A and B are shown apart, each in its own frame.
Chain A
Amino acid sequence: MAKLIESFTNHLTDWGLVWFCFIFWGSIFNAILVNTLNFESSNIIYFSGYALGLIFGIFAKYKNWGWVN
C-alpha cells in the first residue's frame, strides 16, 4: 500500500501539472468554446477544449509554469 501511495505521489509530482491542465483548464476551455461559438456542444468542441488543456499542460510542464494550478 505504501509503495502504491509513493508511486502515485511520484506520478503526481512529475505529471500533476499536465493532469491539472487537462481536466481543469480543459473544462474551462471547453466551456469558453461552447459559449463563444454559441451552438450545441458537439463532440469536436468537447474534445478540442480538453485537447487544448492537454497541450497547455505539456507546455506548462516544460516551461515550469507553477502559476497555472
Chain B
Amino acid sequence: MSESSLNSEKDLSIDAERLVARTFIGRIEWEMIVIGLGQFVVWLGIWYAVLMGLLPLWAGFLLSTLSISFSYLPSHAGQHGHLSGKYKNLKWLNALVGQISLIPLAQSHHVLKAIHMKHHAHTNDPEKDPDYFHTHVDHWWQAAINTHGQTGTGDSRLQKMIESYMEEDENFKSDIEKGTVFTFVFFFLQMVTAFYFPLETLLLWWLPRKLVTSYLGVIFSHQPHKALPKKRYKDTRFWVNGIPRFFNHSMQIHVMHHMYPKICHFDEPKAIEALKPFMIARGIPGAEDLPDKISYKLLSYK
C-alpha cells in the first residue's frame, strides 16, 4: 500500500496514520546540533566581547537573552533522541550536545529529560504531569512565574511529584541522579563567576536565563496546553499569536510533537501537511483551521 493511498480520506485508521508518521522519523537532526553548539559559542563570544570592553554590558545582556532563548530546543531534541536519529552508535550525541547547549541555562540535560518524559507520559494530568503547575493557569504571567518552580527548590507540589517518581521509577531516579552532578557544577560555577565578574554574571547569565525560562514556560508549555484535558489528540492545540512562528520557535505547531515525539522539530511542518486529514479526523484542537501549507511565515488560520 503506498503512502499516498494511505493518506487519503478513505483510510484514516491509526495504522495508516502511523505509517505516514514513520516516514518522517529516523534522521539525524543536524540543525539542532548546529544550533546547540552554535548558541553556546555565541554566548561565550558575548562574554569575551563584554569582558574585553568590545561590547557594552547592556548590549551583551540583550544579545545573551536572545542567544540563550535558543539553548533549550537542542537539549529537547536530544531528550527525544533526534540528535542520533536511527543510529544507535551515535546515542552519546544526545546527552553531549544536549548538555553543552544547556550551559547558558545552567540546567542539567538528564534532569530536564527525566521530567520531560513524564510530561509526555501524563500530559495535563494534575497528579502526574510535572508541567501542570505552569500550563494550567489562568494567565500567561502566572505561567511565566510558576515555571521557575521547575528549577531549584521551588514548587513543593512538584517536589512531591518528583519524590514519588524517584520511588517508583528506576530510570527516572537514575537520570535525576546523573543530572544532579551537573546541577552542583552549575551551582558552584555561578558563584565563582559572580565572585570575579559580578555584574557580568548577573546580566549575561542569571537574568537572561531567568527571562528565557519564563519565555519557555509561556510559549513552550502554557500556550500549547492551557485549559486542555489529558487525552491523546486532545491534550495539545494549534495556536496563533500574530507573530510569525519562527520567532516563537515554532511552538504554535507543538501539537505535532505531542502526536509523534520522534519526529524532528524541523520536519514538523511537512509532517503536519501529510497528517492534516488524520489530525482533523481525531479532532485535534485547531487542526480544522490549518492552512494546507505550513510556511515559515505567520501560521494563519483560513
Contacts of A68 in B (CB 8 A): 152
Taking CB as reference atom, which chain A residue is nearest B154?
A66
Contact between A67 and B154, CB atoms less than 8 A apart: yes
- The residue that A23 contacts in the complex, of B154, B155, B191, with Cβ under 8 A, is B191
Provide the B158-181 mask, 1 if CB < 8 A to any CB of A, else 0: 000000000000000000000000
Bound complex: CA A50 to CA B162 (Å): 34
Query: Across the interface, which residues of A come within 8 angstroms of B148, CB to CB?
Result: 66-67
Interface size, chain A (Cβ < 8 Å): 19
In the complex, the chain B residue whose C-beta lies closest to that of A23 is B191
Residue of A nearest to B106 (CB): A69
Question: Are A66 and B149 interface neighbours, CB within 8 A?
Answer: yes
| A54 contacts chain B at the CB level, 8 A cutoff | no
Contact between chains at A69 and B152 (CB < 8 Å): yes
B120 an interface residue at 8 Å Cβ cutoff? no
Min CB–CB distance A11 → chain B (angstroms):
12
- Check A17 against B199 for contact (C-beta < 8 Å): no
Q: How far is the CA of A69 from the CA of B151 in the complex (A)?
A: 9
Q: Which A residues are CB-close (under 8 A) to B184?
A: 12
Judge whether A66 and B199 touch: CB under 8 Å. Answer: no
Chain B CB count within 10 A is highest, among A17, A27, A64, for A27
Question: Smallest CB-CB separation from B191: which chain A residue?
Answer: A23
Q: Is B156 in the interface zone, CB < 8 Å from A?
A: yes
B187–A64 CB distance below 8 A: no
- A55 to chain B: closest CB distance in Å? 17
Say if the beta carbon of A46 comes within 8 Å of chain B.
Answer: no
B108 within 8 A of A: no
Contact status B194-A64, CB under 8 Å: no
CA distance A16 to B149 in the complex (A): 17
- Asked whether A16 and B187 contact (CB < 8 A) given A28-B202, A66-B149, A67-B154, the answer is yes
One digit per residue, 1 when the CB lies within 8 angstroms of any chain A CB and 0 when it does not, for chain B 138-157 equals 00000000001101111110
**Interface hub of A23, A31, A32, A69 (most chain B Cβ within 10 A):** A69
The verdict on B300 contacting chain A, using a C-beta distance below 8 Å, is no
Give 8 new A-B contacts, CB below 8 A, not counting A16-B187, A28-B199, A64-B154: A12-B187, A17-B152, A20-B187, A28-B194, A31-B198, A66-B151, A67-B151, A68-B152
Residues of A that sit less than 8 Å from B by CB: 12, 16-17, 19-20, 23-25, 27-28, 30-32, 35, 64, 66-69
Interface, chain B (partner A; CB < 8 A): 148-149, 151-156, 184, 187, 190-191, 194-195, 198-199, 201-202, 206, 210
Could you jot down 20 A-B contacts, CB within 8 Å?
A17-B153, A20-B187, A20-B190, A23-B195, A24-B190, A24-B194, A27-B194, A27-B195, A27-B201, A28-B202, A32-B199, A64-B154, A66-B148, A66-B149, A66-B154, A66-B155, A67-B151, A67-B154, A67-B210, A69-B187
